[in-house]
Structure 1
């Protein structure tokens, strides 16, 4: 098996490579990245991580070369690097809006830069790869995955939020992760755990208190919802508090940029043959486990349960069939099939429907970009939803991303 990793120069990559060691049938990992110096550093460390594995690690800046003959294609790229991320996290603040790289105006900016690039890569993979599954880890995952599926590609979107909950809940309950099944529902970065099953019994009630501390939301909120929201719901449930914090603290992008600089320096050390602890601060906890588990199920057809971004296809009657949702799915070589979930509460349903409508507009804006399409997407987003703010944000987004967006020039 050959796995191609687009964005292979990411400091995340060693986390991924560390998990690949369990693939006995793996013959090659092709790391693809235009940043050759960075690719050489990360790739060299990846080779040391797989030193005891028969698979070879190859590095290339030629996308077609890396995709040729691949059985699985992982996409984890960031158009514009950390500088663009910092922009995404700061320009919305000028309009009293949340600055975040996956939601709100910052998330839309990232989607606009990213979707055309990912679609080009997917078209190349369709010609060159071996009927490969595309596993998309690129944010905003839901929007990017929807664009891939709309274009007819064999793709699944992956996020590490659910597996993070699964692992932490298992530890709190003193059981193995394999014994835990989540009723994970929502959209990417807009998800809730409605139940935590262990041997058929829902253990969620006893997890609410530690979960509230984990996601930094009030316990009373979780009790009223009877579910555990992901950390990203903080942008909705405590909007004003988060906005106040963002005005005075360094952006996450600035922190990550500093961590990445240290990691790249560490990766250059030929004596380093294991993941450094600092990598845990980069984000993406359990990323490799989530990716490896999903790839195993897609290639071996083991019918295990994973949280995947897939088409709605009638799963929820309040969304269109072509919407992309993130839910617990049974996965095999045919793809991911959502598991029947508990009835979804109106307060969750309303927010999901609102953000899903925004995502539909976001995909349209990313593919058929124009000032008006971007404005309409921003107006539809519940974190914005005001005419004057949508107009202002459209102008600021265009100015900050004119190097990437033809309509903004």
Structure 2
């Protein structure tokens, strides 16, 4: 019996993560075929990653046939799982997402603020087309979306594409579990966090270790300035007042919203001294691909962890494993709310703990939003809906509304300046938008 996984964005430096995850789980997830897919601009990287992946599989001794191609439709034939990890416009587009806002005194980041909005605008048409292909070529396949902004993209696909077997994944909740385990000096498998919120804006409501409540102990440790951020986010720590007042475990991305001035000052300083994060990642990727080309390399290199994608393979592969084996275990993913958070619409996509089975993800009820975050989560979800509307319509006013209602912009004139500059900078990747600048 065949089991086929298609990785779209296969030339990504992240791909060795997912290959490693598939190899490690092969006894329970007996994958027979992996196809890596990319576009013409990524064919050289695809070749390098494909050859490294083959060496990894050869070393493992697992009977997995791996190929790579630029023909997405051909690759999708017979797929059981399709993992998506694309970056429309590449790191050059990300650099513009960061550089343009920073030049005007706003947060410049790839999934938050103005940059995150435009990453969504570039990505939505491509992902909609991809979902259409999946629906017609391999309609029973599960689409596992790692493409950022993961929550927005997942909600777009679930609400507006023909394909409904879509689950979004993010490594942040997994990272939070692992970091919490380090704080408590226990294994990650012993830690459970009750998550509430949306992608990149999710909070930890309760922490348990082997069923015992350790929430207060973790929060107290966090007040001591312990770092539990991924490689791509510099930790600024949290004040005792913030932790004591909210009584919630923040995620690393909350720094952008609750420490905006400090983060902006830090980012502008780093920007002036070393360029954008995207430009730094380009240098890191250059060194990674030099490593990948070593014919003697047959493992995922340790250096990949600096890329910020640690635990990606565990998240994506664990999800596929649980669906395939109908495990009915608990994992944190992005899917329809379905009443798990009664304050939010039934069809809003949230990031939450779910029971994973052959039928997909079933959210576990987490109760109402704590009053301290209710308003800001409402705002963020309403903002996401505006981004989706604009990303689909290509209407200038829709895009302006998304920009001005983003809490990291929220500036009447600044919103127009950012919108116009970013529309011009990314025009080659925004087919849905008209030429007008408003």
The secondary structure found in structure 1 opposite 2:428 is coil
Distance of 1:176 and 1:278 partners within structure 2: 23
* 1:228-239 equivalent positions in 2, closer than 5 A: 228-239=249-260
Point out the more displaced range, 216-225 or 44-53.
216-225
State the match for 2:268 in structure 1: 247
| Contact 2:135/2:162, CA 8 A, preserved across alignment | no
Distance of 1:65 and 1:209 partners within structure 2: 53
- How far residue 402 of structure 1 moved from its aligned partner, in angstroms, is 1.0
* 1:299-318 equivalent positions in 2, closer than 5 A: 299-318=324-343
- How far residue 246 of structure 1 moved from its aligned partner, in angstroms, is 1.5
| Contact 1:149/1:155, CA 8 A, preserved across alignment | yes
State the match for 2:232 in structure 1: none
Distance of 2:416 and 2:196 partners within structure 1: 32
The secondary structure found in structure 2 opposite 1:149 is helix
- How far residue 125 of structure 1 moved from its aligned partner, in angstroms, is 1.1
Given candidates 213, 230, 239, the residue that maps to 2:226 is 213
Point out the more displaced range, 218-227 or 147-156.
218-227
State the match for 1:40 in structure 2: 47
State the match for 2:94 in structure 1: 85
State the match for 1:122 in structure 2: 131
The secondary structure found in structure 1 opposite 2:243 is helix
| Contact 2:132/2:162, CA 8 A, preserved across alignment | no
The answer to whether structure 1 residue 363 and structure 2 residue 384 are counterparts is no
The answer to whether structure 1 residue 23 and structure 2 residue 31 are counterparts is no
The secondary structure found in structure 1 opposite 2:309 is coil
| Contact 1:9/1:38, CA 8 A, preserved across alignment | yes
Given candidates 169, 178, 184, the residue that maps to 1:158 is 169
Distance of 2:182 and 2:407 partners within structure 1: 35
> What TM-score do the two structures reach when normalised by structure 1?
0.97
The answer to whether structure 1 residue 104 and structure 2 residue 113 are counterparts is yes
Query: Aligned-residue CA RMSD in angstroms?
Result: 1.5
Point out the more displaced range, 201-210 or 319-328.
201-210
The answer to whether structure 1 residue 169 and structure 2 residue 180 are counterparts is yes
The secondary structure found in structure 2 opposite 1:228 is coil
* 1:63-78 equivalent positions in 2, closer than 5 A: 63-78=72-87
The secondary structure found in structure 1 opposite 2:48 is helix
| Contact 1:134/1:156, CA 8 A, preserved across alignment | yes
> What TM-score do the two structures reach when normalised by structure 2?
0.90
Residue by residue over 1:367-408, the C-alpha shift from the partner in whole angstroms, topping out at 9 and shown as x without a partner, is: 111211100111221222222122122111211111112325
Residue by residue over 1:293-317, the C-alpha shift from the partner in whole angstroms, topping out at 9 and shown as x without a partner, is: 1111122111111111111222223
The answer to whether structure 1 residue 339 and structure 2 residue 364 are counterparts is yes
Residue by residue over 1:170-223, the C-alpha shift from the partner in whole angstroms, topping out at 9 and shown as x without a partner, is: 233333322221101211111111111122211122122444422433241223
The secondary structure found in structure 2 opposite 1:53 is coil
* Gap runs ≥5 in structure 1: none
- How far residue 152 of structure 1 moved from its aligned partner, in angstroms, is 4.0
The secondary structure found in structure 2 opposite 1:381 is coil
Given candidates 177, 180, 192, the residue that maps to 2:203 is 192
Runs of 4+ with >6 A deviation: none
| Contact 1:183/1:342, CA 8 A, preserved across alignment | no
Point out the more displaced range, 137-146 or 84-93.
84-93
The secondary structure found in structure 2 opposite 1:290 is helix
Distance of 1:405 and 1:278 partners within structure 2: 34
- How far residue 33 of structure 1 moved from its aligned partner, in angstroms, is 0.6
State the match for 1:49 in structure 2: 56
The secondary structure found in structure 1 opposite 2:226 is helix
Given candidates 132, 148, 152, the residue that maps to 1:139 is 148
| Contact 1:401/1:408, CA 8 A, preserved across alignment | no
Give the direction of change, closer, same or farther, for the CA distance of 1:317–1:130 in structure 2 (3 Å limit): closer
Given candidates 226, 236, 243, the residue that maps to 2:247 is 226
The answer to whether structure 1 residue 276 and structure 2 residue 283 are counterparts is no
